[in-house]
Structure 1
Amino acid sequence: MTDSQKQEVAISDNSLLLISGVARKAARTGALAGAAITATGMLSAAALSTYFARQVVVPPSRPEENLKVFSVGYPVEPRREDEHPTTITLNATPATRAPGEYGLYFDGGTHFAHLGEVLSYQPYEEKVVRRVISVESGDLSKIVRGRLSGVIARTPETAGYRAEEITLNLPVGEAPAWLVHPQASYRDYPQESTPKPSTTWAIMVHGMGVTRAETLRALEATQSLGLTSLHISYRNDRDAPPSDDGRYGLGFTEWQDVDTAIEYALEHGAQDVVLFGWSMGGAISLQTMDRARHRRAIKALVLDGPAIDWLQLIEYQTKYNRLPLRIGELGISMISKPALNIFTGLKRPIELSKMSWTRRPGDIRVPTLILHSLDDTYVPASSSQEIAMKSPLVDFIPFFGATHTREWNVDPQKWTNTVIDWLKIRLG
């Protein structure tokens, strides 16, 4: 080797030495290059695993508006000052191309529009044009970016239902909830009327990173069944107070908040309850069934796109994001092992084995309906299908063409009729 080549190797090795003290120590033993590369790989894996694990348990400060808006259209151009937009052109994605009605948050989530069906799709330009049904707030003509949502109404009133705002005293503090009595529809019961008594309540548990507005899509079903519905907020969801560590428990801690909601229902006339859960709300509902003080009051579960098995889901997300399997494995350790909680900020480890129901199907003790899209690439339906095969108490209904927790949006009639027909039998 020439002196010049030796110098190049030395420079390269010295740059690697800067990575960590492990490599510096290895240099003294003569294993410089190999140890440095190993240290680099270890640190990269640790950093990536930490990021991966924190993405799972750290609540987002604000949902990202990752959808580009190219233009909005008006029925007559140039637009009159009092005219509202009738179309919007978005970048084409599986979500923006899907059939159905959706919500569009914009201006940092402060404003909202209700979008209708796809009018045209331009694959070469990667653009899709959808109908604008209404603009609840904000100036859509100035929009640049937005966030598509399965929410089509942000409050019970805008969804067409009278509601009472109540406060639940959760273990973490006071949190708001909507209480919707039977016969609350403005359309079906335009006059104020005394609600029929409901001895079965539906308690609605939304998913990760969203709010209780997600659960309003179930109101047509629960109103048809004459159920009182309680749409709750829970720790770390922006409406309720944070937990002491400010981290999601993936259901392992949030069940306590649902238990409080069940207690409220029982104190106000309910004899039993049905839990509705979307995504992580499904995981929360399953933990409530398993661990809550008032679990005997739970008569059935209705789960939409649920996180049935967190171990399978983390492994899937590792592969889906084209990461080495060891990244997911280390991320699982960071979430579930007390010694590694420093990486995630969790005050207490999450026992992911208890959150993985395909490994414990015999512990499902109440009738459970799962509605899950086979085109869900965020929480795949495979775990839902597997638990339905393993447990005689679980019924699985597939949907097609819907992205995560948007089964109702793609086919609201199928979703509503399925829930009504299934619950009629279970509620007697």
Structure 2
Amino acid sequence: MVESRRAASPQYVVIVKAALAAISMALGAVLALWGGIAVRMARKVVTPAARIPDCRILELDTSAQTITLTRTPDTELAGRYGLFTTGTERYLKLGSVLSETADTVKRKLLTHVGPQARIVRDAAFSGWYYERPEELHLPFSPELVGSALGPCPAWLFPAGEGEIWVIQVHGRGTTRAECLRAVPIFHALGITSLVVSYRNDGEAPRSRSGTYTLGATEWRDVDAAVGFARRRGAKRVIIMGWSMGGAIALQLALNSAHRDLIVGLILDSPVVDWRIVLDYQARLMKLPPAVTRLAITVLGADWATALTGAGAAIPFRRLDVLARSAELRHPILILHSDDDGFVPSDASHDLVVARPDLVELDVFSVARHTKLWNYDQERWTGRITRWLTQRGFVSERVDADR
């Protein structure tokens, strides 16, 4: 009876209400914080990003032509790479690793740097390697591909009889120069290369919102490039996509008005399901799963476009190629590293399981994101050449190593 009277006392009720109010306010604050983080994450996903420094230059030895960088999973990789810098040099080609410690990596400089060079220490490590088409020493012409938004710049590298083409599609936050390293292999095999741009990539026309749709609309600009190839005499077209370019290539294969002309896809480190990628990247940032789910919900909602800055809701179900795997009609070669670090290879493995009749996967274990050519050019080139030969796209193997 004493306990009942206490529970019913006005003072006790006031204390309980105050506690509940405090809990409610704290919960509301947490939800508001998560909501704010989710919106920022959503904006980041669809906003074309500037290149972000991911390492530091610790020493530049212009007499020995070497450079020492902070050690990261990327800077320690074997092979040839690029380094975006600022100062008197904006881009450097890097060669093999000469020495390393627990915290540093010394590499050979393949771009000559003079003693008067002044370079900012913050830099961005890259798999591009080639920055300009002239560096390939192959005949090419600048072209403009007409799209619904306007002319999209492209580079055309003619080869062979001109009947089989490969259209190269770059990834998120990059430009068409990313694709240049693949041109020599196709040229040596007699395949014409068209290296294209698409809306909001900094070279092609800007949409009204200026944001990515993660492949949902970008594929239309690449479809215009397939039409361009048809008008120039192409009888068969292969689409090669890098990272988000892989997502664009897959949407093109599913939706193109020129599906009859497309004969195959080659995908390097591709996005197959954006939800898997966003969940993975959120875990890297140690964000709660609820934040990721909320960010995906925000991106996929019409009502939230004003918050994200996107021109339209992102149709994640339509972009999920695993869910739509039964609709695929073209043979696909995927090259993906299990240590990608940006786009996990899980969905690539799952697509092979879903469509073993069409999809082949060459798994690297140490190559990181879109750096497979850089890490092991011989293996990368050989695998693509074998796939093209086995599919009858080329009649014989040619030494495509440059």
Query: Would you say the 8 A contact 1:112–1:138 is kept in 2?
Result: no
Query: Would you say the 8 A contact 2:154–2:197 is kept in 1?
Result: yes
2:111 alignment partner, SS class: strand
- Which residue in 2 is equivalent to 1:79? none
2:365 maps to 1:400: yes
CA displacement at 1:122 relative to structure 2? 1.0
The one-letter code matched in structure 2 to 1:92 is: R
2:190 alignment partner, SS class: coil
- Which residue in 1 is equivalent to 2:74? 95
1:312 alignment partner, SS class: helix
2:234 alignment partner, SS class: coil
Query: Would you say the 8 A contact 2:62–2:115 is kept in 1?
Result: no
2:176 maps to 1:176: no
CA displacement at 1:140 relative to structure 2? 4.5
CA displacement at 1:380 relative to structure 2? 0.9
The number of equivalent residue pairs is 377
Separation in structure 2 between the aligned mates of residue 53 and residue 108 of structure 1, nearest angstrom? 33
Separation in structure 2 between the aligned mates of residue 386 and residue 261 of structure 1, nearest angstrom? 29
2:142 maps to 1:165: yes
- Which residue in 1 is equivalent to 2:175? 211
Separation in structure 1 between the aligned mates of residue 114 and residue 211 of structure 2, nearest angstrom? 31
1:409 alignment partner, one of 365, 371, 374: 374
Separation in structure 2 between the aligned mates of residue 359 and residue 261 of structure 1, nearest angstrom? 27
Tell me whether 263-272 or 106-115 shows the greater mean CA deviation. 106-115
After superposition, the C-alpha distances for 1:312-356 in whole angstroms (9 at most, x for unaligned) are 222222223211111111111111111222221112111111111
Q: Which runs of 5+ in 1 are unaligned?
A: 1-27, 76-84, 183-195
- Which residue in 2 is equivalent to 1:275? 239
Separation in structure 2 between the aligned mates of residue 111 and residue 319 of structure 1, nearest angstrom? 33
Query: Would you say the 8 A contact 1:156–1:162 is kept in 2?
Result: no
CA displacement at 1:162 relative to structure 2? 2.2
Query: Would you say the 8 A contact 2:236–2:261 is kept in 1?
Result: yes
**Compared with structure 1, are the counterparts of its residues 316 and 108 closer, same or farther at alpha carbon in structure 2 (3 Å cutoff)?**
farther
- Which residue in 2 is equivalent to 1:355? 319
- Which residue in 1 is equivalent to 2:5? none
1:296 alignment partner, SS class: coil
1:161 alignment partner, SS class: coil
CA displacement at 1:360 relative to structure 2? 2.3
2:391 alignment partner, SS class: helix
1:408 alignment partner, SS class: helix
Query: Would you say the 8 A contact 2:85–2:119 is kept in 1?
Result: no
Query: Would you say the 8 A contact 2:149–2:205 is kept in 1?
Result: yes
The one-letter code matched in structure 1 to 2:74 is: A
2:241 alignment partner, SS class: strand
- Which residue in 1 is equivalent to 2:31? 42
Separation in structure 2 between the aligned mates of residue 127 and residue 144 of structure 1, nearest angstrom? 14
The one-letter code matched in structure 1 to 2:75 is: T
**Compared with structure 1, are the counterparts of its residues 108 and 335 closer, same or farther at alpha carbon in structure 2 (3 Å cutoff)?**
farther
CA displacement at 1:423 relative to structure 2? 1.0
After superposition, the CA RMSD in angstroms is 2.1
**Compared with structure 1, are the counterparts of its residues 108 and 340 closer, same or farther at alpha carbon in structure 2 (3 Å cutoff)?**
farther
Provide the TM-score with structure 1 as the length reference.
0.84
- Which residue in 2 is equivalent to 1:15? none
**Compared with structure 1, are the counterparts of its residues 385 and 139 closer, same or farther at alpha carbon in structure 2 (3 Å cutoff)?**
farther
CA displacement at 1:296 relative to structure 2? 1.9
After superposition, the C-alpha distances for 1:25-71 in whole angstroms (9 at most, x for unaligned) are xxx999531221121011101100011111111111x2112321111
2:83 maps to 1:118: no
Aligned pairs (5 A) from 1:25-64:
31-60=20-49, 62-64=50-52
The one-letter code matched in structure 2 to 1:420 is: T
1:358 alignment partner, SS class: coil
Identical-residue share of aligned pairs (%): 35
CA displacement at 1:283 relative to structure 2? 0.1
Query: Would you say the 8 A contact 1:168–1:261 is kept in 2?
Result: yes
- Which residue in 1 is equivalent to 2:61? 73
Tell me whether 50-59 or 341-350 shows the greater mean CA deviation. 341-350
2:181 alignment partner, SS class: helix
1:134 alignment partner, SS class: coil
**Compared with structure 1, are the counterparts of its residues 108 and 369 closer, same or farther at alpha carbon in structure 2 (3 Å cutoff)?**
farther
Separation in structure 2 between the aligned mates of residue 227 and residue 96 of structure 1, nearest angstrom? 33
2:204 alignment partner, one of 240, 245, 249: 240
After superposition, the C-alpha distances for 1:359-387 in whole angstroms (9 at most, x for unaligned) are 22212210000000111121011110110
Query: Would you say the 8 A contact 1:199–1:269 is kept in 2?
Result: yes
Query: Would you say the 8 A contact 2:62–2:114 is kept in 1?
Result: no
The one-letter code matched in structure 1 to 2:218 is: E
1:96 alignment partner, SS class: coil
- Which residue in 1 is equivalent to 2:265? 301
**Compared with structure 1, are the counterparts of its residues 338 and 135 closer, same or farther at alpha carbon in structure 2 (3 Å cutoff)?**
farther
Separation in structure 2 between the aligned mates of residue 162 and residue 260 of structure 1, nearest angstrom? 23
**Compared with structure 1, are the counterparts of its residues 287 and 110 closer, same or farther at alpha carbon in structure 2 (3 Å cutoff)?**
farther
CA displacement at 1:255 relative to structure 2? 0.4
- Which residue in 1 is equivalent to 2:397? none
The one-letter code matched in structure 2 to 1:170 is: S
Separation in structure 1 between the aligned mates of residue 58 and residue 364 of structure 2, nearest angstrom? 30
Separation in structure 1 between the aligned mates of residue 358 and residue 36 of structure 2, nearest angstrom? 42
After superposition, the C-alpha distances for 1:149-181 in whole angstroms (9 at most, x for unaligned) are 101111121123221001112222222110001
